[in-house]
Amino acid sequence: MKVRRIFPPCVVLQVIVVCICFLEGPAYGRVVKFVLPEGEKSGELSFYWQPQLPNIEWWEYDNSASLAQKAVVFVPLGADFFSAEAVILARAVERREACCPTLGEFASFQKERVITAGKNDIELVEKRTSTLGNNNVLRSYLFSSHKTGAVELRFYGEERNFYLVFSLKARTKKAYSRALPTYRRLLRRYFE
């Protein structure tokens, strides 16, 4: 007996997108589900979630980086993920997959993962709590690399049954300072 695959090998499109949008709420502040083929021949699917973000002036959506990172990735116009001085990423994680019952526990767990992965090179520079939009409380962590001078600012928020992670990654403090107003504007627009 021959087993027929659900997805034939010709489905090597960069993305097979099945969007399941939650229709309540504003145009932004939604989380969208993506379904991608896992490999050319396997026929398996990979599911992940992304916050639906507004366009950012002077920045562009990087499709290939978004697929690779399983996150929304924005880069400055004309740059790509690997050459950009700064990038903005956003991802959504289902609470049940996060194994953390509260936003605080999830943010702390993520913070420890970043520091551990840095092998004593990553320093937690600053920890804050901010309120945006409709009283959305966001926790943030600012990380810095001793060796490279790279900086990453992460904001953690909640949207229905998801934890949201918004990251601004920059190669230098100067690039971080230039991109920070755009990043903050994006967060305000998402949570309005």
**Which domains are assigned to the chain?**
30-191 (3.40.1000.10)
Taking a C-beta distance cutoff of 8 angstroms, is the pair 163, 106 a contact?
yes
Taking a C-beta distance cutoff of 8 angstroms, is the pair 107, 156 a contact?
yes
Exposed/middle/buried for residue 149 (C-beta within 10 Å: 0-12, 13-18, 19+): middle
Taking a C-beta distance cutoff of 8 angstroms, is the pair 111, 167 a contact?
no
Query: Tell me: the pLDDT tens digits for 24-60?
Result: 334 446 888 878 777 666 678 878 888 888 888 999 9
Quick one: DSSP state of residue 11?
-
* Residue 191 clears pLDDT 90, i.e. is over it: no
Query: Tell me: the pLDDT tens digits for 96-136?
Result: 888 889 988 999 999 999 988 888 788 888 888 877 666 77
Query: Tell me: the pLDDT tens digits for 160-187?
Result: 889 999 999 999 999 999 999 999 889 8
